[in-house]
Amino acid sequence: MPEDVESSSFEMDWDRESRTGVSEAVLCGHKSTAQIEAIVAAAQVARRRLLLTRLTAEAFAALGAGTRALLDYEAESGTAVLGERLAVNPIPGIGIVAAGTSDMPVAMEAARSVAFHGYDAPIVADVGVAGLWRLMRRVKAIRQFDVVIAVAGMEGALFSVLAGLLDAPVVAVPTSVGYGVSFGGRSALHAALASCAPGLVVVNIDNGFGAASAAIKMLRVGRRRCTCLVPTVG
């Protein structure tokens, strides 16, 4: 074997946060129990905090008791955190708006990912546009956020309506909620991308973590050059 070829099947990108502003997360969906345990153990040894996503209740239960004891697991979102919680940044900023009850797991993944980086992100739930009044009576509250994460499945009409009402950037997270032509979240995804509402940007289907990463990066934009605001830590 040529020199310098190593054998471990994973190598954490510990410097990602300093390089890109947000941490790497461990996407557990396609990983074996042994792989997840090895990654947690490595983080423990390296004294690193860690966010795990797409960890189903079954996958969590399959982990060894020792590993499980190290993790703060939340079942609805399928996320787990290794390491202490960060103090929440006192300056508000990110809000999460979810179209329906069925979209809550993805909204929760986003909220947990934001919290992992030391921010708070309230969820405004069940404001689908088929009953427009539900959204309208909360618009004033939603306008207080600096960045908005919008979570919707089915036809994804929430994205256009919301982005047309706000001056904050809106990160659309299409969800796989629905059936028939919406199955798998593609209709909601395409609705978000095809919208002519200004400032609407999109991440992959069900990607609550990705939306959170983007929202955090946006929050820090401008503050880079600002000296009057308490500098963010995350």
Q: Which of residues 38-57 bind its own copies (CB under 8 A)?
A: 39, 54
Give the C-alpha separation, 50 to 70, whole Å. Answer: 11
Mark the segment that binds its own copies (CB under 8 A) among 40-48, 55-63, 78-86, 146-154. 146-154
CA distances from 111 to 24, 34, 104, 169, 180 (A): 16, 28, 10, 17, 29
Using CB under 8 A as the binding rule, whether residue 59 contacts its own copies is answered as no
The encoded tokens of residue 36 equal 């997840």
The three-class DSSP label of residue 129 is: helix
In DSSP terms, which residues pair with 162 in a beta bridge?
none
> Which residue, 221 or 233, has its beta carbon nearer to its own copies?
221
Using CB under 8 A as the binding rule, whether residue 190 contacts its own copies is answered as yes
CB atoms within 10 A of CB 141: 12
The residue within the footprint of its own copies, chosen from 29, 56, 61, 64 (CB under 8 A), is: 29
The encoded tokens of residue 138 equal 């909360």
Which x/- pattern, by CB under 8 A, does the window 100-139 give for its own copies? xxx-x---------------x-xxxxxxxxxxxxx---x-
Kindly state the smallest distance separating residue 150's Cβ from its own copies, in Å: 12
The residue within the footprint of its own copies, chosen from 47, 89, 193, 208 (CB under 8 A), is: 193
Kindly state the smallest distance separating residue 77's Cβ from its own copies, in Å: 12
The residue within the footprint of its own copies, chosen from 27, 46, 61, 233 (CB under 8 A), is: 27
Give the C-alpha separation, 121 to 148, whole Å. Answer: 9
Give the C-alpha separation, 153 to 207, whole Å. Answer: 12
> Helices then strands (H, E): number in the chain?
10, 9
The residue within the footprint of its own copies, chosen from 50, 150, 192, 208 (CB under 8 A), is: 192
> HSE-up of 47 (CA within 13 Å, CB side)?
0
> Which residue, 70 or 213, has its beta carbon nearer to its own copies?
213
> Which residue, 70 or 104, has its beta carbon nearer to its own copies?
104
The encoded tokens of residue 10 equal 């994973």
> Which residue, 86 or 197, has its beta carbon nearer to its own copies?
197
Residues 72-101 that bind its own copies (CB under 8 A): 76, 91-92, 95, 98, 100-101
